[in-house]
């Protein structure tokens, strides 16, 4: 009976912040933020590499002159009170936004069917916080323990408190990094340019996701995000070419180029290292790439085909039922939709990157 009571007592006390046994176990709390011209979204996470934890408490501090109208969405899938399918209200767990520039978020897991189950793993979401941007200043934030003093924020299933590990003896130190970049800044260098398009393509190949690479905010990293980034590249870094006849047009390296074709045969030559997106290319076009095909992978998203070379060349081209010639240094290939499949020579172009045959 005592053992059973203890199995409920520790989680219950953790959920209301009343536990005081200190531990130095390893946990990592951090946040990732992504912003546009009008909003900022911050995701708060915890990594738990040791014994599972039963509760958390965090405070997100921000400049309320730059950010307003905070909306908190807590992760109720992993953190709940009662049964996961029909949770009960967690005591004293409503987000506190009463102090301008601070948001206190607390939560716990007390599963009535398995009280000491706890939560463990990497990148466990605590909550998502959305703001409206009030100024053009780059947004920033800091992360602290939710409450100080005798309150216990992070408590393990065995009753150990982890707060001093995170916030120091006084529980007032910042407890983790808050990394914020703009949406589309896939390589996190604080600029939107062609390097981000290349980074997104690599992430697609490696099946890696980040909120910054998800330019169109649909929950995926794919060719649509490359297109989204291309539309956000500043005009000072974008070259636009409008083709009006079949005269050969050179696409230079070192700048992102949008090429608008005409209804006839478009004849383009791409320098090694060029990054280009072709629009309105309906005819029997001739595209010369000044590199060997062995350097390239090819893939498609819908009817848009992407060629990416290890020399830095990236080409995004629409494909149709009229064949287009793709001329490399070492071979010539026809690009066409045939019998419902996108074909490059004899190779079927799929949604996953593959070396050119």
Closest CA relative to residue 276, chosen from 240, 303, 301: 240
CATH architecture under which domain 2-180 falls? Sandwich (2.60)
Distance CA 58, CA 61 (A): 10
Distance CA 172, CA 30 (A): 16
b/e string for 2-14 if b means 16 or more Cβ within 10 A?
A: eeeeeeeebbbbb
For residue range 242-276, what is the model confidence (pLDDT) as tens digits? 888 878 899 998 778 889 888 889 999 999 999 88
User: Residue 2's pLDDT is what?
Assistant: 30
Residue-averaged pLDDT of the chain: 87
pTM (2 d.p.): 0.72
Distance CA 110, CA 295 (A): 55
Distance CA 135, CA 234 (A): 20
Distance CA 344, CA 339 (A): 13
User: Residue 25's pLDDT is what?
Assistant: 56
**Quick check: 137 and 66 in contact, CB under 8 A?**
yes
Distance CA 295, CA 172 (A): 53
For residue range 123-164, what is the model confidence (pLDDT) as tens digits? 999 999 999 999 999 999 999 999 888 888 999 988 888 998
DSSP string, 64-92: TTTEEEEEEEE-TTTS-EE-SSSEEPPTT
Q: Which two tokens stand for residue 292?
A: 């060997």
User: Residue 7's pLDDT is what?
Assistant: 45
**Quick check: 30 and 177 in contact, CB under 8 A?**
yes
Domain layout of the chain by residue ranges: 2-180, 234-355
- Determine the longest span between alpha carbons in the chain, in angstroms: 89
């Amino acid at each position: 009976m005592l053992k059973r009571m203890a199995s409920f007592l520790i989680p219950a006390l953790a959920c209301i912040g009343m536990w005081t046994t200190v531990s130095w176990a390893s946990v990592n709390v951090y946040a990732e933020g992504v912003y546009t011209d009008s909003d900022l979204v911050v995701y708060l996470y915890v990594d738990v590499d040791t014994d599972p934890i039963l509760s958390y408490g965090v405070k997100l501090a921000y400049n309320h002159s730059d950010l307003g109208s905070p909306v908190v969405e807590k992760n109720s899938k992993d953190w709940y009170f009662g049964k996961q399918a029909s949770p009960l209200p967690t005591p004293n767990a409503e987000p506190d936004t009463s102090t301008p520039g601070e948001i206190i978020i607390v939560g716990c897991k007390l599963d009535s069917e398995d009280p000491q189950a706890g939560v463990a793993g990497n990148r466990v979401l605590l909550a998502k916080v959305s703001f409206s941007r009030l100024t053009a200043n780059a947004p920033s934030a800091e992360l602290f323990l939710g409450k100080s003093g005798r309150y216990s924020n992070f408590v393990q299933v065995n009753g150990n408190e982890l707060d001093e590990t995170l916030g120091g003896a006084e529980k007032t130190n910042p407890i983790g990094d808050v990394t914020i970049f703009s949406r589309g800044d896939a390589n996190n260098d604080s600029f939107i340019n062609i390097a981000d398009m290349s980074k997104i393509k690599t992430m697609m190949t490696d099946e890696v996701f980040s909120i910054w690479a998800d330019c169109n905010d649909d929950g995926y990293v794919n060719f649509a995000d490359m297109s989204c980034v291309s539309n956000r590249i500043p005009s000072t870094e974008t070259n636009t070419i409008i083709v009006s006849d079949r005269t050969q047009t050179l696409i230079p390296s070192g700048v992102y180029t949008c090429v608008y074709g005409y209804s006839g045969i478009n004849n383009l030559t791409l320098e090694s290292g060029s990054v280009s997106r072709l629009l309105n290319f309906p005819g029997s076009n001739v595209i010369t790439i000044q590199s060997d095909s062995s350097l390239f992978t090819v893939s498609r998203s819908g009817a848009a085909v992407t060629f990416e070379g290890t020399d830095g060349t990236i080409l995004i081209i629409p494909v149709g039922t009229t064949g287009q010639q793709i001329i490399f240094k070492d071979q010539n290939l026809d690009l066409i939709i045939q019998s419902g499949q996108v074909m490059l020579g004899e190779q079927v172009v799929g949604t996953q990157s593959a070396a050119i045959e």
